Amino acid sequence: MMRWIDVLIYARYSNPEPCKRVEKTEEAWQRQLTPDQYHVMRQKGTERAYRNAYCRAYDPGLYACAGCGSILFSSAEKYHAISGWPSFTQPISKSAVKYAFDDSHQMQRIEALCNVCDCHLGHVFNDGPAPGGLRYCINSASLSKLDSPV
């Protein structure tokens, strides 16, 4: 289980080794992604609260990276955080998500990225539910839901 100390250590020192790497030029990303996805995933944008696809989705399934298809989260770890974005308490595995310090917007936050393709996902906070205490606040635009049962 990931805890806040693990997130800080990964962001500060080095992230877990991904199972594979996907690297593309910005031109290729721009061709592949919708404008909204490109803004969020490659320009570290934030979609509007509540007006996004998976904010209120709780049916079973897995959530993949919209950029490379890597599985990132499960509906089993999704919970209602009243934040306006899909929120998860844990990633699907320790190596699924990459962490980085983000000092933009006069805030000190930890950015969550896809560990395979480096697309921006959202941020991680330490105000999630027990036992892990984490809240992965993720943009719907960065996710693609697979409707297979968990």
Whose Cβ is closer to Zn ion: residue 16's or residue 133's?
16
| Residues in region 111-140 near Zn ion by CB under 5 A | 114, 116-117, 119
Alpha-carbon distances of 91 from 1, 28, 97, 107, 139, rounded to whole Å: 9, 27, 7, 23, 14
Is 114 an annotated catalytic residue? Answer: no
Q: Per rule CB under 5 A, is residue 33 in the interface with Zn ion? A: no
The stretch among 12-20, 36-44, 107-115, 132-140 that binds Zn ion (CB under 5 A) is 107-115
Part of the chain binding Zn ion (CB under 5 A), chosen from 28-36, 69-77, 92-100, 126-134: 69-77
**Core vs surface per residue 24-60: b (16+ CB within 10 A) or e:** beeeebeeebeeebbbbbbebebbeeeebebbeeeee
Size of the residue set binding Zn ion (CB under 5 A):
8
The answer to whether 68 contacts Zn ion (rule: CB under 5 A) is: yes
Between 45 and 133, whose beta carbon lies closer to Zn ion? 45
Residue 59, C-beta contacts closer than 8 angstroms, at least 6 positions apart: 75, 147
Q: How far is the CB of 133 from Zn ion (least distance, A)?
A: 25
**Active-site option among 55, 68, 117, 137:** 137
* 67 lies in the site for Zn ion, by CB under 5 A: yes
Looking at the Cβ atoms of 29 and 79, the one nearer to Zn ion is 29
Q: How far apart are CA 81 and CA 132, in angstroms?
A: 15
CB neighbour burial string for 80-117, b if at least 16 within 10 angstroms, e if fewer: ebeeebbbbbbbbeebbbbbeebeeeeeebbbbbbbbb
Query: Active-site positions?
Result: 137
Positions touching Zn ion (CB under 5 A) are 65, 67-68, 70, 114, 116-117, 119
